């Protein structure tokens, strides 16, 4: 499946071009959804429209989506609570339905249905799913665009955090059954970033919702990554001498590739092996006295790079708040969301989700000074007020035991969400299996991999982009796994230049990694083989051992509204 989840601020309802190509039978079946006797039984759900669309669909304030097959577009509003106003859309192919449902994730703070995806990869969207024959469903998660009024509202945050995704799934399954006369054979969910967090959240909280899940670049610890973006901004800008401009970040990446990857990494533009093993020290780039250039770092800049590699550490407890970025992610070449500057570290403000969440939702002080904000006390308050927006419970044993499948993938060069977090989360999932079923680590990993596999992508940025092999069919791989119960031993990924394949690599189930055979074309995936590597992760970050297997905690009030 394609990679990117780029946020586009639009409103939910669109304008459709109606074309006579749809069969009258499909049109009648579609319009009948408005008066169906079965759908009113859906709790807290109102169908607001149902009409055939063919050819072109134009979301308001958005670019027209062309080349669409005929489909029945259903809009609905979900109200699990009195204040809820969750908009969803279900797109149902008029012909050629593959018998499956695809749930589509969101990005950022959502507020928009993912109609077409990003310019670099539009596969994680309603449009791409319906083109492939899937019935598809998406949601705005209960609010519109850049509206900030919902942020301090606990109930609205619950809609955003988990109720909207579960609610749209329940509604979509019923609408699919009513429209086609039979239930979907399989239901899949795919999302990246926020959508990746939604994906693992479904496995944690509602393990029966989906038979297969693709969770990409997972943002499963929103309170922490959002505060870490503010911390990174403080590190790089509170002292102007500490700011590391883009040209110097490029020099850091070049030095990393040379030091840790040699001539092959310099030629490829990325590290092929696990960047966690790279021991590059930015002190190597320290400028000579009074001779600062674009290719060296001043002493304060060296400390900035070191801090970002290290990650945010609580000053009092000395515990890790959020893991650091990896060598090679500083400013690699390539399109998409790459380079540390995309986090807002150099200003003028931190990343937009942090700028909205902490001042408006947590502190309720819109004019907060990000230079002086106490990130540690703000985080404590956030995790007290809104713990449910995090999807950090590693106990997905019920999802595993019911035979559902999940592919997790993450770019090693992701500048916005640390790949280390995803590895630590996956390690904690394995550790729960190990403890629950009294297994050794090797057996627990094998048991987990029967259901859930992690694929790390060298040189890939946030949800795609970068110089690495960032184009691959995750949803097709998942579909084959679910349909045939054959776990993927690799996924072949490609890097495109101007839409033309430039090279390919196999992505290996972590902790395996791809190694060049020593003969053949380095640009051809067949010249690479997956080899075993030690399974290493920070077992303390998710605290499985000290607290026992972490499950999602549901309070009574929240459970009633679900």
For 256-313, the pLDDT digits (tens) are: 999 999 999 999 999 999 999 999 999 999 999 878 899 999 999 999 999 999 999 9
**Better-scored residue on pLDDT, 450 or 335:** 450
Q: Return the pLDDT at 551.
A: 64
Among all chains, which residue has been given the structure tokens 């577009």? 73
Question: Annotated active-site positions, please?
Answer: 193, 414, 462
Among all chains, which residue has been given the structure tokens 């598809």? 136
Above 70 in pLDDT, residue 19?
Answer: no
Q: Phi then psi for 52, rounded to 5 degrees?
A: -75, 135
Above 90 in pLDDT, residue 213?
Answer: yes
Average pLDDT over the chain reads: 91
User: Could you say which DSSP state residue 385 is in?
Assistant: H
Asked if 482 and 184 count as a contact pair (C-beta separation under 8 A), the reply is: no
CA distances 358 to 135, 386, 388, 536, Å, are 37, 11, 15, 33
Alpha helices in 181-211 (DSSP H): 194-205
- Could you tell me the pTM of the whole model? 0.92
Segment 217-245 shows an average pLDDT of 97
Q: Return the pLDDT at 438.
A: 96
Tokens read off for 165 = 């995704």
User: Could you say which DSSP state residue 361 is in?
Assistant: I
CA-closest candidate to residue 350, choices 321, 370, 378, 373: 370
Q: Phi then psi for 213, rounded to 5 degrees?
A: -135, 135
Q: Which residues contact 251 (CB under 8 A, 6 or more apart)?
A: 285, 294, 295, 296, 297
Q: Return the pLDDT at 43.
A: 85
Q: Return the pLDDT at 120.
A: 35
Q: Return the pLDDT at 18.
A: 37
CA-closest candidate to residue 472, choices 507, 438, 443: 507
For 141-176, the pLDDT digits (tens) are: 999 987 899 999 999 999 999 999 999 999 999 999
For 346-368, the pLDDT digits (tens) are: 999 999 999 999 999 999 999 99
Give the HSE-up count for residue 129: Cα atoms under 13 Å, Cβ half-sphere: 30
| pLDDT band at residue 117 under the 50/70/90 scheme | low
Between CA 336 and CA 507 the distance in angstroms is 20
Above 50 in pLDDT, residue 6?
Answer: no
Q: What percent of the chain is predicted at pLDDT more than 70?
A: 91
Between CA 130 and CA 39 the distance in angstroms is 22
Asked if 479 and 433 count as a contact pair (C-beta separation under 8 A), the reply is: no
Q: What percent of the chain is predicted at pLDDT more than 90?
A: 84
Q: Return the pLDDT at 553.
A: 58
Q: Return the pLDDT at 554.
A: 55
Q: Return the pLDDT at 37.
A: 72
Out of 38-42, 356-360, 369-373, 531-535, which region has the weakest mean confidence (pLDDT)? 38-42
Between CA 558 and CA 11 the distance in angstroms is 27
Above 90 in pLDDT, residue 343?
Answer: yes
Asked if 331 and 347 count as a contact pair (C-beta separation under 8 A), the reply is: no
Above 50 in pLDDT, residue 22?
Answer: no
CA-closest candidate to residue 486, choices 516, 506, 519, 509: 509
């Amino acid at each position: 499946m394609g990679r990117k989840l780029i946020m586009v601020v639009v409103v939910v309802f669109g304008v459709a071009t109606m074309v006579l190509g749809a069969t009258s039978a499909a049109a009648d079946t579609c319009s009948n959804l408005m008066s169906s006797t079965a759908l009113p039984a859906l709790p807290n759900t109102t169908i607001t429209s149902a009409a055939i669309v063919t050819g072109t669909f134009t979301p308001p304030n958005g670019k027209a989506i062309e080349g669409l097959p005929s489909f029945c577009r259903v809009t609905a509003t979900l109200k699990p609570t009195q204040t809820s106003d969750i908009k969803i859309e279900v797109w149902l192919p008029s012909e050629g339905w593959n018998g499956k449902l695809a749930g589509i994730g969101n990005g950022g703070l959502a507020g928009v249905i993912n109609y077409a995806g990003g310019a670099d990869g539009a596969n994680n969207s309603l449009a791409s799913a319906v083109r492939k024959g899937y019935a598809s469903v998406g949601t705005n998660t209960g609010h519109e665009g850049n509206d900030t009024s919902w942020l301090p509202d606990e109930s609205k945050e619950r809609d955003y955090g988990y109720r909207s995704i579960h609610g749209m799934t329940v509604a979509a399954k019923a609408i699919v059954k009513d429209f086609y006369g039979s239930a979907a054979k399989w239901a899949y969910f795919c999302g990246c970033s926020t959508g990746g967090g939604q994906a693992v959240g479904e496995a944690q909280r509602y393990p029966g919702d989906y038979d297969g899940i693709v969770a990409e670049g997972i943002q499963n610890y929103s309170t922490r990554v959002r505060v870490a973006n503010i911390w990174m901004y403080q590190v790089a800008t509170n002292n102007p001498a500490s700011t590391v401009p883009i040209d110097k970040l490029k020099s850091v990446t070049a030095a990393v590739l040379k030091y840790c990857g040699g001539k092959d990494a310099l030629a490829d533009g990325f590290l092929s092996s696990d960047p966690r093993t790279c021991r590059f020290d930015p002190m190597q780039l320290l400028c000579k006295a009074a001779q600062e250039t674009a290719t060296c770092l001043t002493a304060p800049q060296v400390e900035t790079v070191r801090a970002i590699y290290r990650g945010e550490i609580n000053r009092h407890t000395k515990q890790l708040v959020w893991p650091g970025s990896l060598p090679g992610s500083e400013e690699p070449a390539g399109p998409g969301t790459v380079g540390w500057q995309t986090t807002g570290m150099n200003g003028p403000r931190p990343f937009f989700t942090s700028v909205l969440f902490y001042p408006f939702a947590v502190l309720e002080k819109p004019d907060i000074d990000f230079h002086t904000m106490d990130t540690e006390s703000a985080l404590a308050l956030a995790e007290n007020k809104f713990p449910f927006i995090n999807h950090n419970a590693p106990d997905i044993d019920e999802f595993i035991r019911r035979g559902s499948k999940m592919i997790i993938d993450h770019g090693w060069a992701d500048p916005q969400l640390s790949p280390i977090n995803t590895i630590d989360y996956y390690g904690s999932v394995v550790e729960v299996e190990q403890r629950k079923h009294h297994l050794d680590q090797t057996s627990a990993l094998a048991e987990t991999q029967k259901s859930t596999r992690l694929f790390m992508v060298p040189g890939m940025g946030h949800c795609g982009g970068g110089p690495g092999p960032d184009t691959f069919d995750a949803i097709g791989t998942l579909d084959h796994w679910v349909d045939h119960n054959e776990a993927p031993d690799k996924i072949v990924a490609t890097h495109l230049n101007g839409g033309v394949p430039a090279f390919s690599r196999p992505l290996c189930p972590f902790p395996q990694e791809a190694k060049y055979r020593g003969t053949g074309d380095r640009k051809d995936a067949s010249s690479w083989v997956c080899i075993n590597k030690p399974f290493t992760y920070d077992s303390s970050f998710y605290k499985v051992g000290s607290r026992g297997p972490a499950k999602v905690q549901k309070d009574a009030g929240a459970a009633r509204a679900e």
